[in-house]
Amino acid sequence: MRADVLAVPGVQEVFINENLTDLTANGLPPHSFEVTLYDGSTPTASNAAILQTIWNNKPSGVLAFGTTTGTAVDSQGANRPVAFSRVSLIPVWLVFDQVLIDPSLFPPDGVQQIINAATAKAAAIQRLGTDVIALQYRAAALSVLGVIDVSVLFLGTSAAPTGTANLTISSHQKATVDSSHVTVNNLIPTAT
């Protein structure tokens, strides 16, 4: 079913969670499944197309659960209730602090290159339900010529973060890193 939902125009990522037990588990009613999807920061996929695709591919007798509800048409022309969920976007702020640089190699636009490297890394690795790992972003900064070390990386889900721990992202969330949420402070040149 995941591949079928991914084939709906506009859908970029899909996660399916299921509960095959007789009890409510992980927020899902008994004998149900939930399709959680990402179709852009402004949803672009048709709800009707998603609902119909889920209905056409779901197991018989299993409830399609979610926060977006609607109907699909079964093979006999009857309307059937179907549901799915869209991911919650979690904005992340990054502050690269105490960045050790080699001034003979660090380019004039090096700060912007660090910002660009962080946002490119986010676009490449932050998938639905993927935690924000600080080391991956420190490594992104190190990819900029002349950056020797990032002593401190603050990260969080609000402006001016003070934490340094990885951020946990649930299967119903997707972390986003916008260039306006990335700051580079305290460039420290090495002695020449």
The answer to whether 99 touches 141, Cβ cutoff 8 Å, is yes
Per-residue pLDDT, 192: 57
Q: What is the pTM of this model?
A: 0.87
Task: Give the pLDDT mean for 55-73.
Answer: 95
pLDDT digits over 131-169, tens only? 999 999 999 999 999 999 999 999 999 999 999 999 999
What pLDDT shows up at residue 11? 97
Per-residue burial over 152-191, b = 16 or more CB atoms within 10 Å of its CB, e = otherwise: ebbbbeeeebeeeeebebebbbbbbbeeebbbbeebeeee
- The pLDDT, as a whole number, for residue 61 is 87
Per-residue pLDDT, 191: 72
